[in-house]
Structure 1
Amino acid sequence: MDNDDLPRVGVLLRDWRQRRKLSQLDLALKADTSTRHLSCVETGRARPSRDMVLRLAENLEVPLRERNSLLLAAGYAPAYRESPLGSDRMAMARRALRTMLTNHEPYPSVVIDQVWDVIDYNVAMSVLLNTVPPHLTDTGANVMRLILHPDGLAAHCLNFAEVRANALARLAHQAGATGHRGLKALYEEVSAYPAPPDPDQLSAPVDPTGFVAPLRVRTPYGNLSLFSMVATFGAPADVTLSELAVETFFPADEETARILRDVPAAPTRDPGRRGNP
């Protein structure tokens, strides 16, 4: 490896350590190494072994894609494959995703990737997606844009100030934790969207007795109040799987549950699904 490459992995590791707000001593203890060796790695005076790169990355909770980048910067081959979701290798994962989506009916559920792009969704998502104009989905849907764009769900949201604050906080945290440039760019884009014109959406009070912040939205079937949960693959060893999540929505009150149970199955405009799960 060229000497000019030596500092690169050290600089990257230092950036991740600082992002996690760990001292060199903290990380050295976690990774079962010495502070001196870690210092030498970060300053480029020592080349870490492949095992050391992976051990440091694990203790720093570095995403798999970036772990591969660390290995490449240190002069090693990537450790994690990145398989297309539509490949034969991912058939079981696709079936698992489709099972989750289908079994969650009649409540909405959506598969998203690391930058919140829609990969797949169930029929019940039509209640939300069919209120969104085509120009937000023509080139592929993104959940943050669907929620925060003034022409999207924001135009129908009954507690937009609350939803916007929570969505932006979630996105900012994810961008900071992962260092993903795409997430940072997405945050800068959606945080600059103007608020919808209805002032009631900006002044809706936050319910201090609620256990989660709901999404309250007007639909042709009635007003819905929903909260969500997020599921990810356990111990993924593939970059693609590590970046997928399933967001499932649940009714926050009995009226919402009734409406969703009674909504007739209807064709959903395709918001640019990808991956063919």
Structure 2
Amino acid sequence: MTIMAPATTPFAQQLRGWRTRRRLSQLDLAIAAETSQRYLSFLEQGRSHPGRVMVIRLAEVLGLSLRERNALLLAAGYAPIFPESSLNAPELGAVRYALDTILRGHLPYPAVVTRPFGVLVAANPGFELLTEGCAPRLLEPPVNVLRVALHPDGLARRVENLPEWGRHVTDSLRNRAGRSPDAELDALIAELDSYLPPVEPGPGHLGFAVPLRLRSEAGELRLITTVTSFATATDITLSELHLEAFLPADQATSDYLRARFSPA
């Protein structure tokens, strides 16, 4: 008698794929999810079907985004639990007000809020520093901040250390793609890489912290960036927003930004 292996289910495929991507053994994941390795093995073979609570627990342990958690629930045959609202929806009115307040609070320093893949949602007046001299077509909605930054007709023409700083940007995207593969993100990374000249690190190169060295009417400005996300969000739209602020890396840059963009 031939024993047929159970058919692989969409949930089993996704679970095994995410576990492999996170470099976890079955035992490691089982312990973290408070279940047995045997049961987890059955799930990955399609021999057992998980309860809804177990799917949610596994998604949390695997560190999936809200969108990815919904997809895992769907693969297991359950309805998604995380809503995805339009940013213009009435229920996100308080969020829009908070974003505007945060952006104003970062003045005189440039700050932007973006959706996935660098799509601009909102910016404060300081963002003008980064768009000066950019080709008008790059500033037509929907504006992609990453493309504005690295395109030869965008900010890139004013960046003194474009090879290093540009690679810092694309390496960050590659890390994100490694955790959450996406064909659209891969295509964007390939496009942005094509804009960058070869990098030749010198003896003083710091791969972990690359300031933006920007030519301006006042001479060279030096900026560092910070990125903030809404980690406790339960709405997909809000969870995928990022606030990026450009802060002065020296006193001369700080003085210039304060003189130019300080609120009246």
Alignment pair present for 1:173 and 2:175:
yes
Alignment pair present for 1:76 and 2:78:
yes
Instruction: Tell me which of 120, 141, 144 is aligned to 1:142.
Output: 144
What do you get for the CA RMSD once the two structures are aligned? 2.3
Q: Residues 48, 84 of structure 1: CA spacing in aligned structure 2 closer, same or farther, 3 A cutoff? A: same
Give the conservation status (yes or no) of the 8 Å contact 1:222–1:259.
no
Instruction: Tell me which of 233, 242, 245 is aligned to 1:245.
Output: 242
Q: Which residue matches 1:131?
A: 133
Q: Which residue matches 1:122?
A: 124
CA distance in 2, matches of 1:133, 1:222: 22
The one-letter amino acid paired with 2:63 is E
The TM-score normalised by the length of structure 1 is: 0.87
Alignment pair present for 1:234 and 2:234:
no
Give the 5 Å matches for 1:180-191: 180-191=182-193
SS of the residue corresponding to residue 263 of structure 1 reads helix
Q: Which residue matches 2:252?
A: 255
The one-letter amino acid paired with 2:44 is E
Cα distance per residue 1:16-42 (max 9 Å; x no partner): 111111111110011001111111111
Q: Residues 204, 224 of structure 1: CA spacing in aligned structure 2 closer, same or farther, 3 A cutoff? A: farther
Gaps of 5+ in 1: 266-277
CA distance in 2, matches of 1:264, 1:63: 36
Q: CA deviation at 1:5?
A: 8.9
CA distance in 2, matches of 1:60, 1:151: 40
SS of the residue corresponding to residue 35 of structure 2 reads coil
CA distance in 1, matches of 2:169, 2:208: 17
Q: Which residue matches 1:47?
A: 49
SS of the residue corresponding to residue 79 of structure 1 reads coil
Give the conservation status (yes or no) of the 8 Å contact 1:6–1:47.
no
Instruction: State the aligned residue count.
Output: 258
The one-letter amino acid paired with 2:66 is L
Give the conservation status (yes or no) of the 8 Å contact 1:17–1:27.
yes
Q: Which has the higher contact order (CA 8 A, sep 6+)?
A: 1
Q: CA deviation at 1:212?
A: 2.9
Gaps of 5+ in 2: 1-5
Q: Which residue matches 2:87?
A: 85
Q: Residues 72, 158 of structure 1: CA spacing in aligned structure 2 closer, same or farther, 3 A cutoff? A: same
The one-letter amino acid paired with 1:130 is E
CA distance in 1, matches of 2:200, 2:247: 24
The TM-score normalised by the length of structure 2 is: 0.91
Instruction: Tell me which of 91, 98, 104 is aligned to 1:96.
Output: 98
Alignment pair present for 1:58 and 2:60:
yes
Percent sequence identity is 42
